[in-house]
Amino acid sequence: MELHVTQFDLIYRLPSFAQVASSNLMWQPIGTMGQTLSGVKNPDMLAPAESKFTLFVGHDTNLTATAGFLDVTRQAEGFRKNDPSPAGALVFELHRVKQSGQLIVRLFFVSVSLDQMRNGTELTLQAPPQRVPLTISACANVDCTYEQFKTFFTKSRAPGLPHYDRLRALSGMSRVRFALAADVCRHCKDRHV
């Protein structure tokens, strides 16, 4: 396990790799939040404008690179720090504070526990997976304003979305399996890496 976590830290959390590997993927939750707020469909977003819930499926490498890009440290009970647990997830939530109307983004790491896996526990509201709140580096606490979150991404992302070619060159891989089941933007539909 120690080598597995070290490998992921040295490769996928490396800031230059995490930036390139995560920018296309991170564009989807940020853009989806934007179109949800405006009510206008953005043709580059995979989710419908009226979506209340959107799921993007990826690999442990995508999860680690995205956590590295956001500079968050995650640790689920029973796992080592930054260990991408099986079926672990990064959950982005957009909330409007009732009193002020301010928009905030919250980030959580969700993972089943080792005991839940070992025992084949059915996940329910009474027996939920672990839900660990994370603080994005650009934000002072767990409640990150939507503007802070969007500004952080805009300033920190790799330039020139999409960047499949740059990701391939940086990774040295002949084929990169990217995070989404579908291409991340309509401009890339016929491009494969």
Residue 99 pLDDT greater than 70, yes or no: yes
Residue 113 pLDDT greater than 70, yes or no: yes
What's the rounded mean pLDDT across residues 101-120?
92
Q: Is 17 exposed, middle or buried (0-12, 13-18, 19+ CB in 10 A)?
A: buried
Can you tell me which residue has the tokens 């206008």? 40
Q: Tell me the CATH number of domain 2-181, given options 3.40.50.2000, 3.30.565.10, 1.10.3720.10, 3.40.50.1240.
A: 3.40.50.1240
Residue 134, CA atoms < 13 Å, CB-side half-sphere: 26
Residue 171 pLDDT greater than 50, yes or no: no
Look at residue 188 in the predicted model and tell me its pLDDT: 36
Where does residue 115 fall: left (phi above 0), alpha (psi -120 to 50 degrees), or beta otherwise? alpha
Q: Which of 35, 33, 107 is nearest to 66 (CA)?
A: 107
Higher pLDDT, 20 or 176: 20
